[in-house]
């Protein structure tokens, strides 16, 4: 994740708002509000089991940095969560009491936090991230966009003074998708350059990143955050809503048969509505075919000393508009 300055943020937000207003009009009929339809009870979690536990099976994977997967991977005792074989899992995965203002009746939520987000027993002195994956594919199988799947999660944003004190990406809420990706190949010959487009079945990971803008950074007068949307059809991040209010937020994504991905977010824990719509895109210009799963990224500066922000999530749920089971 690259850091985005407030000057670029201000200028590009105006352009994005204009583009989104046109885009909303053109795609309104195709949208599905996340949480619509039938809930798949076999996946997701409410963390209400007081005996909820996670078996980390250390050391964590770090295939993205040193090609080491390190089997066996960590997994929850209930079989609904597991470690990423690519980046590894957060250092702390623990059921905690639900912070004030959460879902009515909720007594348990899940804490995710990391200090060593790179290679085990090493530091990279760079921004790194851990992944925590929901087990959707292993339980229901990947879900076709013909069924208009969606997922919703509540995320607790702590007071600003409890965040990792640096400007940059700090948390991700993302989907693992499969589809047909169009890639251009350039070939140089005697008579010039030929560009050919190749269609390839591939995986990609659209979603949200929360970027913290820390007032200790000279660029910012006060603490705030911005939701970044990954991504447009060229793989570029888009600007979503600014966050000036901490506490509980609700995030959701939906996936429709027209290959588009729809992004929603709002403060609080109420069910998402059309009023919480941010945008719709075709990430990486891919023809999305299946939702494989969803996952969370915990991000920090991997210096061996600095803990990430405490991220608490509750009641991640998966829905489909059309039942197939």
> Could you tell me if residue 216 is inside a domain?
yes
Complete DSSP assignment for 160-203: GGGS-SSSEEEEEEEEEEEEEEEEEEEEEETTEEEEEEEEEEEE
User: Strands (DSSP E) along the chain, which ranges?
Assistant: 38-39, 54-55, 75-76, 81-83, 92-97, 108-113, 127-134, 143-144, 149-157, 168-189, 192-204, 207-213, 224-230, 237-243, 247-255, 261-267, 277-281, 287-301, 311-320
Q: Is the pLDDT of residue 13 over 80?
A: no
CA atoms within 13 A on the CB side of 73: 22
Q: For residue 39, what are its two tokens?
A: 């809930």
Average pLDDT over residues 69-92: 95
Alpha-carbon span 162 to 244, nearest angstrom: 15
> What is the pTM for the complete model shown?
0.88
Per-residue confidence (pLDDT) for residue 189, from 0 to 100: 67
Per-residue confidence (pLDDT) for residue 159, from 0 to 100: 98
Look at phi and psi of residue 192 and say left if phi exceeds 0, alpha if psi is from -120 to 50, else beta: left
Q: Which of 188, 194, 154, 66 is nearest to 118 (CA)?
A: 66
Q: Is the pLDDT of residue 122 over 70?
A: yes
Q: Is the pLDDT of residue 149 over 60?
A: yes
Contact 227, 209 (CB under 8 A): yes
Q: Range with the lowest mean pLDDT among 2-11, 33-42, 71-80, 108-117? A: 2-11
> Could you tell me if residue 16 is inside a domain?
yes
C-alpha dist (Å) from residue 30 to 60, 88, 110, 260, 305: 40, 36, 33, 8, 47
> Could you tell me if residue 325 is inside a domain?
no
Count of domains observed in the chain = 1
> Could you tell me if residue 196 is inside a domain?
yes
Range of the domain at 135: 6-320
Per-residue confidence (pLDDT) for residue 235, from 0 to 100: 94
Alpha-carbon span 322 to 38, nearest angstrom: 7
171: pLDDT confidence band, cut at 50, 70 and 90? Answer: very high
The H-assigned helical ranges of 28-112 are: 63-66
Q: Which of 265, 288, 269, 39 is nearest to 150 (CA)?
A: 39
For residue 203, the cross-strand partners are 178
**What number of other Cβ atoms are within 10 A of residue 257's Cβ?**
16
> Could you tell me if residue 182 is inside a domain?
yes
Average pLDDT over residues 208-216: 97
> Could you tell me if residue 1 is inside a domain?
no
For residue 149, the cross-strand partners are 320
CATH number of the domain that residue 48 is part of: 2.60.120
Per-residue confidence (pLDDT) for residue 191, from 0 to 100: 63
Q: Is the pLDDT of residue 313 over 50?
A: yes
Higher pLDDT, 20 or 213: 213
> Could you tell me if residue 282 is inside a domain?
yes
Q: For residue 68, what are its two tokens?
A: 């080491």
Q: For residue 187, what are its two tokens?
A: 């070939």
Per-residue confidence (pLDDT) for residue 183, from 0 to 100: 74
Alpha-carbon span 308 to 199, nearest angstrom: 39
> Could you tell me if residue 241 is inside a domain?
yes
């Amino acid at each position: 994740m690259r850091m985005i300055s407030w000057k670029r943020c201000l200028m590009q937000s105006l352009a994005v708002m204009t583009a989104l207003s046109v885009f909303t009009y053109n795609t309104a009929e195709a949208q599905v509000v996340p949480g619509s339809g039938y809930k798949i009870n076999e996946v997701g979690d409410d963390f209400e089991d007081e005996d909820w536990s996670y078996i980390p099976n250390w050391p964590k994977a770090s295939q993205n940095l040193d090609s080491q997967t390190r089997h066996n991977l960590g997994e929850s005792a209930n079989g609904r969560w597991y470690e990423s074989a690519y980046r590894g899992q957060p250092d702390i995965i623990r059921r905690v009491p639900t912070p004030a203002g959460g879902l009515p009746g909720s007594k348990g939520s899940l804490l995710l936090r990391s200090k060593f987000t790179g290679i085990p027993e090493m530091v990279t002195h760079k921004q790194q991230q851990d992944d925590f994956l929901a087990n959707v594919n292993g339980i229901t199988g990947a879900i076709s966009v013909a069924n208009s799947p969606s997922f919703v999660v509540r995320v607790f944003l702590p007071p600003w003074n409890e965040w990792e004190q640096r400007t940059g990406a700090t948390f991700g809420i993302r989907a693992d998708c499969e589809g047909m990706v169009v890639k251009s190949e350039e070939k140089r010959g005697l008579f010039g350059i030929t560009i050919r487009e190749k269609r390839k079945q591939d995986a990609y990971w659209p979603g949200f990143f929360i970027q913290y803008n820390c007032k200790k950074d000279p660029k910012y007068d006060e603490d705030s955050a911005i939701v970044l949307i990954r991504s447009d059809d060229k793989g570029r991040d888009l600007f979503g809503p600014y966050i000036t209010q901490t506490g509980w937020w609700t995030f959701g994504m939906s996936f429709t048969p027209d290959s588009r991905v729809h992004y929603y977010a709002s403060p609080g824990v109420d069910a998402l509505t059309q009023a919480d719509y941010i945008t719709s895109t075709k990430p990486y210009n891919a023809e999305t075919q299946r939702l494989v799963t969803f996952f969370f990224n915990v991000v920090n500066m991997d210096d061996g000393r600095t803990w990430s922000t405490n991220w608490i999530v509750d009641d991640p749920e998966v829905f489909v508009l059309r039942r197939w089971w």
